[in-house]
């Protein structure tokens, strides 16, 4: 198959699934909140919500493309916790406060005084990661790639999420004063090279993209530490599990997204890996004994 056609097809799939989060479905009843808040509330975007076309949760708002086997559900199952999973694909930080689309309540509405555990994974959409990765790196590969024409606006956009992220951590603490907040970062997407499954992505651009996720991790880790949250590093456990890894072990689907149909998004293996790290962090924090 023509690699350029494969790239276009993969990008169309990604655009179609992401667009699902904004489709004008008939308004659905917003997900009810537990009185006082659930014991465990999961907040975030597609990095926490989805495994793409695999194990789609038909009981959740379809625009959220939420999985029955995402990391929050796996954590809740392992720890025996009552979970209110509000994660939703395409979510940005403002969607924590207001309805993302009809039928999807503000994610923070799930919090309350009974909430003991909150997991948070959000910020990539606010930093417009998809725009730069697909527009500058993949689309620009034929003309030299994104590393060779670095756009300082990308770094500025990543850094700019810090005030809103900090305010969100403070608001979570206000609404759920008994909760411990666990912030999980972005695992390894790419190492220092590319691979055929990335359909022409230049090796230098692979490393460049990963450096931007590293910057995003630095921002949220700093804010987590400043606001009493627990930052869960997911990079150290995944250096050889990115999109160019063997399909049996990779944590993210590449452009040829044969497991999820959603490039740059977690596989079931990836969600399991993050769930293990979150579970270990929750257990070691002592919050379950309080």
Which positions are catalytic? 46, 265
Residues 6+ apart with CB under 8 A from 160: 127
Task: Identify the sign of the CA torsion 282, 283, 287, 288.
Answer: positive
- Number of helices (H), then strands (E), in the chain: 8, 5
The angle subtended at Cα 19 by Cα 194 and Cα 244, nearest 5°, is 15
98 backbone φψ class: left, alpha, beta (φ>0; ψ -120 to 50): beta
- Judge contact between 3 and 200, C-beta under 8 A: yes
Task: Identify the sign of the CA torsion 252, 125, 101, 182.
Answer: positive
What DSSP element (H or E) covers 269? helix 268-285
Name the one residue in this structure whose structure tokens are 């912030």.
Answer: 183
CB-CB neighbours of 286 under 10 Å: 9
How far apart, in whole angstroms, are the C-alpha atoms of residue 256 and residue 240? 18
Distance, CA of 132 to chain centre: 16
Residues 6+ apart with CB under 8 A from 104: 30, 31, 61, 63, 64, 88, 95
């Amino acid at each position: 198959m023509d690699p350029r056609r494969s790239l276009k097809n993969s990008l169309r799939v990604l655009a179609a699934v992401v667009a699902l989060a904004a489709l004008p479905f008939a308004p659905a009843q917003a997900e009810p909140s537990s009185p006082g808040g659930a014991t465990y509330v999961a907040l975030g975007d597609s990095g926490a919500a989805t495994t793409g076309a695999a194990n789609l949760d038909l009981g959740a708002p379809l625009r959220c493309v939420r999985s029955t086997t995402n990391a929050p559900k796996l954590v809740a199952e392992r720890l025996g916790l009552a979970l209110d999973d509000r994660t939703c694909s395409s979510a940005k930080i403002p969607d924590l406060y207001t309805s993302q689309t009809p039928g999807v309540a503000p994610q923070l509405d799930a919090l309350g005084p009974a909430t003991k555990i909150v997991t948070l994974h959000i910020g990539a959409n606010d930093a417009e990661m998809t725009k730069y990765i697909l527009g500058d790196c993949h689309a620009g590969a034929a003309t030299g790639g994104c590393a060779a024409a670095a756009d300082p606006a990308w770094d500025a956009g990543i850094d700019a999420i810090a005030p809103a992220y900090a305010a969100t951590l403070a608001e979570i603490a206000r609404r759920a004063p008994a909760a411990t907040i666990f912030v999980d970062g972005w695992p390894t997407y790419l190492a220092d090279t590319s691979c055929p499954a990335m359909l022409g992505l230049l090796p230098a651009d692979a490393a460049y993209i990963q450096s931007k996720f590293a910057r995003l991790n630095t921002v949220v880790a700093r804010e987590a530490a400043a606001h009493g949250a627990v930052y869960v590093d997911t990079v150290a456990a995944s250096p050889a599990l990115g999109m160019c890894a063997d399909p049996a072990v990779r944590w993210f689907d590449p452009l040829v997204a044969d497991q999820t149909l959603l490039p740059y998004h977690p596989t079931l293996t990836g969600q399991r890996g993050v769930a293990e790290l979150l579970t270990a962090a929750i257990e070691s924090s002592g919050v379950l004994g309080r």
